[in-house]
Structure 1
Amino acid sequence: MYLPRDQAGQLYEQLVRNQHPLSPPVLIITSLGVDALCATRILTSLMKRDFIQHKVQPVAGYSELQDAGRNFVLPMTRQRGGDGGVVVCLGAGGLVDLEEVLGLDGQSVEEGVEPEDMTDHGVEVWVIDGRRPWNLNNVFGSSTILQQTEEGAIVSKRQGVDRGRVLPHYAPGKGGIIVWDDGDIQDDMEAEREAYMALQDMPEITEEDLDIEQEDTEDEAEEDEPSSSQSRKRKASSHDSGGESDDGYDRPRQRRRSNSSMPIPSSPGGNPYSNQSVASTPPTSSQAQSPGAVIPSSPPKAPSARQLRRKLLKMRRKHETTLQSYYTLGTSTSEPVSGMLYGLASELGREDNDLLWLAIVGISSVELSPFSRSKSGRNETGRRVLDKSETMREVLRDEVRRLNPVPEDELRRSQNGDVIPMKARSPTDCSIRLSPEPRFLLIRHWSLYDSMLHSPFLSTRLHMWSDIGHKRLAKLLAKMGISLQEAGKGYMHMDMELKQSLRKRILKFAPQYNLDGLVPGEDGRRGLEGWGFVRSWGWKSTLSAVDVASVVSAILEVGADPHLPETTSPHNPSNYQPAKTYNSRIRALPTPPHSEDDSDLSAAADPDWTTHRFFAAYDALDPVSSSNTAGLSLLLSHIGTAQHLARAILRTGSALISKRQIRHLRSFRMGVVKEGPDVALFSHPGALVKLAAWVGEAVAVLESEKGRRRDLNEALVLGCLDEARGVYVVVGLGSGGAGKKIRSKAEIRERENKKKRKAADKAAKKAERARKRQERKELQRERDEANGLLNSDDEDEDESDATESEASESSDSESDADSDDESAQARKKRGHGLNRFGQAFQEVVEETGARVRIDSFEHSVVEVKKEDLAGFLEALSLRTVIG
């Protein structure tokens, strides 16, 4: 079942009304992501205000999700002695059949155990997930409630549910899966809904059923053929004997034969219920020649049962193809979970700065993810249309203005949008502000040089993996008038005049280095498009939302110990200790039947790193309004962890590019991290995904600068060796580019020359118009002097000329925009550019039987046995990995 977005508040209010002190606590199952973590913070804050008991259970993958279902969800069912309850899945479970994974379908994973009747189990599972595609059993299924119709048929029926949609009068309590719709299901999945509902009402039928039926028919025909020939022989012999007999014996026999054939007339003129047979009477000549005689046509022949079954099979194949096409589109991301829960808080009238900040951090983390690739286009009128991500940021900016009004004395100073905020307005200032944030990493806690060096956007475009890249960075700083000594200082201690003019300097020289979009431009909507969000904790600290998302993500991916970078850094030989790999510290992952389960037995004795890391990151997002300030201290202590991860990404990615270890296969590029000081760090899937995003961005820059057109070959597969377990962690990503156009060197030169020519032509036209206006003015003045008249309309005429020229220029720009819009719309198709690595991985496993573990909620992240990697990649190169 799916819940329309405008009914989320109503469902939550029903939960509040049904809760009492003896009710079981609400179980919140959340994935290990910054977005899901922020959503958990928002939901628990709402439940605390409503005095609803709840329990948070983090899960790292499908194996832990299955364990949570067995240990926590099944005991809540009425079949196991529970009273039912509510389970909320945040960022987990949207891509699989949750009833099967959680055990609510009654099917046991143990052999020999009979299925259990789970009708009316009473456990209601809310699924709030931003990953796509949905599992349609969750979206349109109506759980296990069965009812009997008047005809005696058993059908699945739920009161308050219409074809999978939850209606306003829906009454909870029976249990089932409820998917929270962000608008995509209602607007874009009507065809899938119709196909799913049609298949629910169709009987199971396959081509084999028709073949078996045809064989049975042929066998019956072969058996009837000899019996019919024998009957014909008997009839012929009886007819001969009848001819030789007397007439007295012949008439009764003919009468009996006539009576036996009476009910089956051969023409429509006879009445089958009368004692006469028109068929036995030959027509007269008058009847045959009568022009007015009407011979009615025979009724249409009814289709046979085989024809009906074949038609049913054709319809079933059509609907199955519709669903299969949806599943094979590829994976993508929709609205972040934290944004949906902030929408719930807004609908309930509970929004405040703490919840708004959590939503901003969660949405910012999704935008940093390489799995989130969205682009805007133009409509039919040539006007730019914002995509979902930009629309959400626009809404968040409006919320910041509404909940954080700017004081009158700060209003004039805030109009200068060139300086990013570095401190609060007062010791008690905890407001959220808009800021023209550059795409530099942790700029408030690093030097300008280091922040630019470790920025994925800037380091890949300047080729920081080589000495030429470092020289280009130094040259860029020199053009901007910033010395290396000044850039090496902490940003907080830089010269104020440089900080105030930094944005203008970057905007001036960024196009020369292919750095468009490095800082927000000045031509956006309301002048604030691309601006970021900043929050202050009094005079203790001021952080941007991107910085907070980066630090919290580092806690989840590197570790919860803030001193871990010091003990695992290769630059400190005295304290250096090889860190345990991520896979040796987590519990064993699920293994396909064809794989071997030889996980490290010592992992069972290790602590639960999933829970440890999750709650460390959870505490780092402690609300500002709380009296406990340990959350901010914990967050600041892990800034070094984020910096350590950034250094490792730059170091390892530069080694892969400079040593030419990126190989080109048929449908993607491939790289493997086998050695180096950071191998243990990148055995974590999240850290490996960030490294793959950096390498993919670098490959896209190299290809584009050579003038090659961006195509599907820019997809990247990156693996990291875990020597202790003998497996490779493999991740597959689509093309890089971060949604920004990467120009070649020739295009950059042509763009600069075009700008110069355009400026020169504009100046020449302006001078020519001024000269003509002056000539007309002089000529009119001479005429007026000769005639003794004065004309005061000269200025109006000049203004009309200028207006006409501006109108012509605007019409030319609109025509160009229309042509660009037509080409963009022609390229835009559903599923174009989506990540299909998840489907490709599963197809390769089924084909080759490679020992692969698919456990991550991101289906494009898998583990492959060390000996099977070569064959796995070879088979994968023959698959389509980008939609």
Structure 2
Amino acid sequence: MSREERDAHMARLEKRYMAGTWHGQSASGTIFVLATLLERADINLLWFPILGLTFQYTTSHISRDKYDDYQSMYSDEVFRLSPPPPLGEQNLASSNPDDHGIRTTDELRFMLYRHWTLYNAMFHSSYVAGKLGIWKERGRKKLTGLLAKMGFSIPQTQQPCPHMDMDLKRSLVVQKLDDIALEYGLIELSYPSFMKCYGYRSQPLSAADAVEGVSALLDLARGVKVEVEIEGSRNGGEWFGGGKVWEIHGLAAKGKWTIEEERENVPPDNQPTTIASDVQKANGEDDSSDSLKKEVAWWIRNFWVAFDARADFEALRHSLNLSMTLHRAIIRQGTSIIDKQDIRTMCNHHVVVLTQGPNLALFSHPGVLSRLA
């Protein structure tokens, strides 16, 4: 075999071996490219590929170099479709009640740190958890030591970020984290990202926070009862209990969730066609009114709830509490598995059997279980 034939053979083997191990551009990014070619792109449509790109990076589906390439391209689109405010004004704040523009900003790899306490945001961050090993006691001590070196007291780390001292928040990245994070191996602790304004209704929402909210809705909007923490229940401040059962908010709460009521595509004879009815006819089942009144599967409902929440600020804001509850359950279950040494080593893989626990129904969902893995 000649060298050229050997190189070609090795290239085929490498291509076959690496097939399915990388991710390309997100579907929302492809749609935005098509809309740009058709000259129908706007600032609201640009927000969707930004969310897709952020999801790929935060879940380690793409590398930092690939993320930077797409991020720079979307930054140019942001300046083209949403010019920044004049100099001297706050770049991240909404300039008027109808301001729905997008701003570029640096994002910390902390979980929902603008809506959570600093300690919880770092404790539930997958990046910080992987670097410090917070699922063990030694890793939790490292996290406490990191916060102490940054000059934060325990009460300050337990305060919600909106209530923290302004000077501490301003110096969080520039002075404190950049000087100390390198000692703990936290190299890529921040990355360039985006925030979307919602007028005077609320503070701008970062792309990373929006991704966490939509992902939580995709997994847990329906299908299992989840109790979320309500505002004011921390530090003994609860009046009527520490939480409530999660409910869908916003426009998605008014949706119709029976197969009979899915009438978006109605043919000229006014007979609605649904996927369920087509499957029933193919299987020879009776297409009666009772069968059509069955509820849509939970995963289909979750998809449409998450789909609608992308453009519904009210639903997106409430989904952040659901995301916090989900991350608490994952860290709690993962820590319990490691502490109890429930991981069984087989010939080629590791196995964990979940048979009990308060969140057993939660981890019966494939999306939540994949996060735990």
In structure 2, the partner of 1:363 is 53
Alpha-carbon distance change, 477 to 343 in structure 1, aligned in 2, over 3 angstroms? same
- Structure 2: gaps of 5 or more residues: 1-7, 230-240, 247-275, 277-292
Question: Once the two structures are superposed, what CA deviation does each residue of 1:242-267 show, in whole Å capped at 9, x if it has no partner?
Answer: xxxxxxxxxxxxxxxxxxxxxxxxxx
In structure 2, the partner of 1:460 is 130
Q: Which amino acid aligns with 2:358?
A: P
| 2:339 corresponds to 1:658 | yes
Other structure's SS at 1:351 match: coil
In structure 1, the partner of 2:86 is 408
Separation (CA, whole Å) in 2 of partners of 1:679 and 1:573: 20
State the Cα distance separating 1:538 from its structure 2 match. 1.0
| 2:150 corresponds to 1:480 | yes
Alpha-carbon distance change, 324 to 474 in structure 1, aligned in 2, over 3 angstroms? closer
- Structure 1: gaps of 5 or more residues: 1-318, 376-385, 415-420, 520-529, 578-586, 588-603, 623-630, 693-883
- Which of the residues 528, 532, 537 maps onto 2:198? 537
TM-score (norm 1): 0.32
Other structure's SS at 2:205 match: strand
In structure 2, the partner of 1:493 is 163
Separation (CA, whole Å) in 1 of partners of 2:17 and 2:343: 28
State the Cα distance separating 1:647 from its structure 2 match. 0.5
- Which of the residues 390, 393, 396 maps onto 2:68? 390
| 2:216 corresponds to 1:554 | yes
In structure 1, the partner of 2:98 is 428
Question: Once the two structures are superposed, what CA deviation does each residue of 1:690-733 show, in whole Å capped at 9, x if it has no partner?
Answer: 111xxxxxxxxxxxxxxxxxxxxxxxxxxxxxxxxxxxxxxxxx
Other structure's SS at 2:74 match: helix
State the Cα distance separating 1:668 from its structure 2 match. 4.2
Separation (CA, whole Å) in 1 of partners of 2:57 and 2:353: 26
Alpha-carbon distance change, 321 to 494 in structure 1, aligned in 2, over 3 angstroms? closer
In structure 2, the partner of 1:731 is none
Q: How many residue pairs get matched? A: 307
State the Cα distance separating 1:650 from its structure 2 match. 0.7
Q: Which amino acid aligns with 1:367?
A: Y
Alpha-carbon distance change, 410 to 349 in structure 1, aligned in 2, over 3 angstroms? farther
Separation (CA, whole Å) in 2 of partners of 1:446 and 1:618: 24
Q: Contact 1:562 / 1:640 at 8 angstroms: preserved in 2?
A: no
Q: Which has the higher contact order (CA 8 A, sep 6+)?
A: 2
Separation (CA, whole Å) in 2 of partners of 1:450 and 1:478: 15
Q: Contact 1:562 / 1:641 at 8 angstroms: preserved in 2?
A: no
Q: Contact 2:228 / 2:322 at 8 angstroms: preserved in 1?
A: no
Q: Which amino acid aligns with 1:399?
A: E
Q: Which amino acid aligns with 2:162?
A: M
Separation (CA, whole Å) in 2 of partners of 1:612 and 1:321: 46
Q: Which amino acid aligns with 1:537?
A: Y
Q: Contact 1:464 / 1:470 at 8 angstroms: preserved in 2?
A: yes
Other structure's SS at 1:638 match: helix
Question: Once the two structures are superposed, what CA deviation does each residue of 1:776-829 show, in whole Å capped at 9, x if it has no partner?
Answer: xxxxxxxxxxxxxxxxxxxxxxxxxxxxxxxxxxxxxxxxxxxxxxxxxxxxxx
Question: Once the two structures are superposed, what CA deviation does each residue of 1:661-687 show, in whole Å capped at 9, x if it has no partner?
Answer: 334445444434333222221222211
Q: Which amino acid aligns with 1:642?
A: S
Other structure's SS at 2:108 match: coil
Question: Once the two structures are superposed, what CA deviation does each residue of 1:554-579 show, in whole Å capped at 9, x if it has no partner?
Answer: 11111248973349xxxx899899xx
Other structure's SS at 1:436 match: strand
In structure 1, the partner of 2:329 is 648
Larger Cα-atom Rg: 1
Alpha-carbon distance change, 664 to 393 in structure 1, aligned in 2, over 3 angstroms? farther
In structure 1, the partner of 2:362 is 681
Other structure's SS at 1:444 match: coil
| Mapping for residues 220-231 of structure 1, pairs under 5 Å | none
In structure 2, the partner of 1:621 is 310
State the Cα distance separating 1:499 from its structure 2 match. 0.8
Separation (CA, whole Å) in 2 of partners of 1:354 and 1:373: 24
Separation (CA, whole Å) in 1 of partners of 2:12 and 2:27: 25
Separation (CA, whole Å) in 1 of partners of 2:189 and 2:303: 32
Separation (CA, whole Å) in 1 of partners of 2:341 and 2:372: 16
State the Cα distance separating 1:441 from its structure 2 match. 1.0
Other structure's SS at 1:534 match: strand
State the Cα distance separating 1:496 from its structure 2 match. 0.9
Q: Contact 1:565 / 1:640 at 8 angstroms: preserved in 2?
A: no
Separation (CA, whole Å) in 1 of partners of 2:218 and 2:103: 27
Separation (CA, whole Å) in 2 of partners of 1:404 and 1:455: 31
Q: Contact 2:50 / 2:207 at 8 angstroms: preserved in 1?
A: yes
State the Cα distance separating 1:445 from its structure 2 match. 1.4
State the Cα distance separating 1:461 from its structure 2 match. 2.5
Q: Contact 1:434 / 1:531 at 8 angstroms: preserved in 2?
A: yes
In structure 1, the partner of 2:177 is 506
Other structure's SS at 1:517 match: coil
Alpha-carbon distance change, 334 to 679 in structure 1, aligned in 2, over 3 angstroms? same
Alpha-carbon distance change, 429 to 410 in structure 1, aligned in 2, over 3 angstroms? farther
State the Cα distance separating 1:549 from its structure 2 match. 1.1
Separation (CA, whole Å) in 2 of partners of 1:489 and 1:346: 44
Question: Once the two structures are superposed, what CA deviation does each residue of 1:625-682 show, in whole Å capped at 9, x if it has no partner?
Answer: xxxxxx1111112221111111111111111222233344454444343332222212
Q: Contact 1:462 / 1:469 at 8 angstroms: preserved in 2?
A: yes
Separation (CA, whole Å) in 1 of partners of 2:224 and 2:345: 39
State the Cα distance separating 1:515 from its structure 2 match. 1.4
Alpha-carbon distance change, 512 to 359 in structure 1, aligned in 2, over 3 angstroms? same
Alpha-carbon distance change, 466 to 320 in structure 1, aligned in 2, over 3 angstroms? closer
| 2:195 corresponds to 1:517 | no
Q: Contact 2:132 / 2:139 at 8 angstroms: preserved in 1?
A: yes
Percent identity at matched positions?
33
